[in-house]
Amino acid sequence: MEYLSIVFQEVYKILFLLVPVLVSVAMIVWLDRRVWAFVQKRQGPNVVGPFGLLQSLADALKYIFKEIIIPSSSNKVIFILAPIVTMTLALIAWAVIPFSATQVLADINVGILYLFAVSSLGVYGIIMGGWASNSKYPFLGAIRSAAQMVSYEVSIGVIIINVLLCVGSLNLNDIVIAQQNMWFVIPLFPMFVIFFISALAETNRPPFDLPEAEAELVAGYQTEYSGMMYAMFWLGEYANILLMCAMGAILFLGGWLSPIDVYPFTLVPGAIWLILKILLLFILFALVKAIVPRYRYDQLMRLGWKVFLPLSLIWVVLTASYLFYFNLLPVN
Amino acid sequence: MIAHAIFFYTFSIIAVVSAIMVTASKNTVHSVFFLILDFISISCLFIMIGAEFLGMIMLIVYVGAVAVLFLFVVMMLNVAQQKNQWFAAKDSSKHIPVGLIISTLIFFEIIIVIGGWKYKPEIFDINNAIAQTSISNTHSLGQILYTDYIHVFQISGMILLVAMVGAIVLTFRHRSGVKRQSYIKQISRERAEAVEILEVQSNKGVKIDD
């Protein structure tokens, strides 16, 4: 009985985290389209509800009532599993995101490794979907995205090492607290820029949206999907984008810390600061989508392996020698 | 304690069954997916015994990178069509003696390791390896790897690097006649070297190509 009550408590906490995340994913789709529209001097979705806020809800209703078509030559089990995998992986990562010193679902020792592992598993949803569709365009999209996500993961990993050198712990709360005096975006600014661009590539956002490049590949790995399964791919993708924004906010922008450590700002709860920082990064993501044209595939690979990887490796050496020389290494 | 046992048996049953399915499933791509499931459940087992760093590294390296490359190669080679007949094929029975020898060897190695654990417990005493038990196992791994075993650690890294360089050298072909893009050249082109204004005289024309 005691065990059951613990389980119920945890389930309640998980629901309290996941429901806001799902609602904010719907909101963020609307925000993305609005920002995109404003850059191009359009209005964007503004009809359903105030400012068009309920547009995503209307879209979701449309997807629910559409028929789910499963191609007869597809591998059915994997075809159905693919959107589920994408969605699940995008949601389980939120377990370790700290919203304040105490508001975190699982305050584990290896939080940043967990985040990195889950984001590197994200590629499976795409590969499974592309392969199981048993069709040319999805398969090409899946192959492209596998290569792309694996290459950009490497530079993200090296950037994380940079931050860890300054913190001395893999716990996400420790990473946030280590930025109390100065956010890491100031000393590690080049790494922040590289992290941001790698995050764009990791989440298949424009200008790196080659897996679903509509001009060449129809819709890439999503070509054969319809109805709610397509919507789940979509939701998973946006939840992943939010997650990368949260990761950027925690690693470089001080997570739940207030920007200035003075009286009226410290009253605002940490969760609100974190959400504001995630929103700031997301608006940058949306602006990039509106402004930058798509990369050519070989240029994308060159950028990942020949520019970002050496740069971030050199920066690791620089950070490590600086910390060592000035005796600033976080030894405990 | 009961919950712990339930989780342990769930993960280990998934690990064993999916390990069998890796060899038994007919479709090669399915084999790779079962291999991934196996990796994931083994990393869950690592986390359950308190080796959270090892579990996460297992997820990142094996599931996040190695298995993706496996999947990549299997899909590219299109071996999904060649059915992997484990039970039926006659000529695969030739490999059974070799397989038996290797598996007996591995079995005896495991027996030796576990036997040592059973009869000489002080060798495997965790307190011998870790100076302080209060620190997390990531810290203690780092303290051991980068102090006592730094040379072994660096040498293993060098071996991996040599393997990588060797693989690249073996497969690298320099094809001649391929037009390559040079970004510096493209950006540093001036108007003067690209455009030329000529006075064209009538009935004489201009020779463009030379």
Task: Supply the pLDDT for residue B128.
Answer: 53
ipTM metric: 0.81
Please indicate whether, in this complex, the C-beta atoms of A116 and B60 are within 8 angstroms of each other.
yes
The predicted pLDDT at position B152 comes to 92
Least reliable range by pLDDT among A38-47, B8-17, B86-95: B86-95
Q: What is the pLDDT of residues B149-198, one digit of tens each?
A: 899 999 999 999 999 999 999 988 888 888 878 888 888 888 888 888 87
> Same domain, yes or no, for B6 and B78?
yes
Q: Chain B residues with CB-CB distance to A under 8 A?
A: 3, 29, 33, 36, 52-53, 56-57, 59-60, 63-65, 68-69, 71-72, 75-76, 135-138
Residue A48 lies in a domain: no
Residues of A in contact with B140 (CB under 8 A): none
* Closest Cβ–Cβ partner in A114, A127, A150 for B56: A114
Residues B20 and B81 grouped into a single domain = yes
Residues of B in contact with A78 (CB under 8 A): 33
Residue A13 lies in a domain: no
Task: Annotate A294-305 with DSSP letters as a single string.
Answer: PPPHHHHHHIII
Domain coverage including residue B32: 1-85
Average pLDDT, chain B: 81
Q: How many domains does chain A have?
A: 1
All residue ranges of chain A with pLDDT < 70 are 1, 214, 332
Residues of A whose CB is below 8 A from B65: 120, 150, 153
Contacts of A128 in chain B (CB under 8 A): 33
Q: Do B138 and A170 touch (CB under 8 A)?
A: yes
Q: Do A146 and B71 touch (CB under 8 A)?
A: yes
Residue B24, judged by CB atoms within 10 A of its CB (0-12, 13-18, 19+), counts as: middle
Window from A57-61, B99-103, B197-201 with minimum mean pLDDT: B197-201
**Contact across the interface for B57 and A113, Cβ inside 8 Å:** yes
| H/E element, B118 | helix B96-119
A177 lies in a domain? yes
In a domain, B136, yes or no: yes
Chain A residues closer than 8 Å to B137 by CB:
109
CATH of the domain at B70: 1.20.120.1200
Cis amide bond preceding A207, omega within 30: yes
Chain B residue with Cα closest to A4 = B3
Residue A208's SS3 state is coil
How far apart are the C-alpha atoms of A31 and A37, rounded to whole Å? 10
Q: Percentage of residues in chain B with pLDDT exceeding 70?
A: 84
> Distance (Å) from the C-alpha of residue B125 to the closest C-alpha of chain A?
23
**A-B interface: how many C-beta pairs under 8 angstroms?**
61
Residue B18: pLDDT band (50, 70, 90) is very high
Q: Is A89 a member of any domain?
A: yes
Check CB contact under 8 Å for B52 and A110. yes
**A38 in a structural domain:** no
Provide the CB-side half-sphere exposure for A276 (13 A, CA): 12
Report which of A58, A48, A163 is spatially closest to residue A115, judged by C-alpha positions.
A163
Is A269 within the bounds of a domain? yes
Q: Looking at the structure, do residues B9 and B66 belong to the same domain, yes or no?
A: yes
Pick from B6, B32, B60, B63 the residue to mutate for testing the A interface (most A CBs within 10 Å).
Answer: B60
Q: Is the pTM of this model over 0.90?
A: no
Which chain B residues have a beta carbon less than 8 Å from that of A123?
A: 64, 68
Mutant choice from B7, B27, B56 vs A, greatest count of A C-beta within 10 A: B56
On whether the CB atoms of residues B19 and B39 are closer than 8 A, the answer is no
Has residue A24 been placed in a domain? no
Average pLDDT of the residues in B7-34: 88
**Does residue B187 lie within any of the structural domains?**
no
| pLDDT tens-digit map of B59-90 | 888 888 888 888 878 777 765 455 545 555 55
pLDDT at residue number A314: 93
List of residues 6+ apart from B14 with CB closer than 8 A: B37, B38, B41
Closest chain B residue by Cα to residue A120: B64
Question: Is the separation of the CB atoms in A225 and A129 below 8 Å?
Answer: yes
Q: From chain A, pick out residues whose CB is under 8 angstroms from the CB of B21.
A: none
Domain count, chain B: 2
- Spell out which residues of chain B touch residue A161, defining contact as CB-CB under 8 Å: none
Containing domain of residue A85, as a range?
Answer: 71-325
The answer as to whether A40 is a domain residue is: no
Chain B contact for A114, CB < 8 A?
yes
**CB-based contact A146 B76, cutoff 8 Å:** no
Q: Which residue of chain A has the CA closest to B65? A: A150
Give the C-alpha distances (Å, rounded to integers) separating B24 from A18, A147, B16, B84: 38, 28, 12, 8
User: Which are the contacts of B35, defined by CB distance < 8 A and separation ≥ 6?
Assistant: B18, B22, B67, B70
Whether residues B69 and B10 share a domain: the answer is: yes
Cβ of residue A313 closer than 8 Å to a chain B Cβ: no
Nearest CA in chain A to B29: A131
Q: Are residues B81 and B13 in the same domain?
A: yes
With respect to residue B91, please indicate whether it lies within any of the assigned structural domains.
no
> Residue A251 has which token pair?
């690693």
Q: Which residues of B touch A332 (CB under 8 A)?
A: 135
